[in-house]
Amino acid sequence: MLDFTSSELAVLKVLFASADGNGHDFGFIEDARSAVKSKASLGGIVASLAKKKVICIEDAVTTDSGTWTQFTWIMPVPEVEKLIEKV
Q: What is the pLDDT of residue 64?
A: 92
Report the number of distinct structural domains present in the chain.
1
Tell me the CATH number at 19: 1.10.10.10
What are the CB-based long-range contacts (under 8 Å, 24+) for 72-78? 72/25, 72/26, 73/19, 73/24, 77/24
Phi-psi region of 66 (alpha: psi -120 to 50; beta: other; left: phi over 0): left
Residue 1 lies in a domain: no
DSSP strands (E only) in the chain: 27-28, 55-63, 66-73
In a domain, 40, yes or no: yes
Q: What is the pLDDT of residue 87?
A: 78
Query: What is the structure's pLDDT at 1?
Result: 65
Question: Cα separation of 22 and 24, whole Å?
Answer: 5
Residue 11 lies in a domain: yes
In the prediction, which pLDDT does 2 show?
83
Residue 81: the pLDDT is 93
In a domain? residue 34: yes
Please give the chain's pLDDT, 87 residues, in tens. Answer: 689 999 999 999 999 999 998 888 899 999 999 899 888 899 999 999 999 999 999 989 898 988 899 999 999 999 999 999 977
Instruction: For 37, list phi and psi in degrees, rounded to 5.
Output: -80, -30
Q: What is the residue range of 49's domain? A: 6-84
Residue 57, domain member (yes or no): yes
In a domain, 13, yes or no: yes
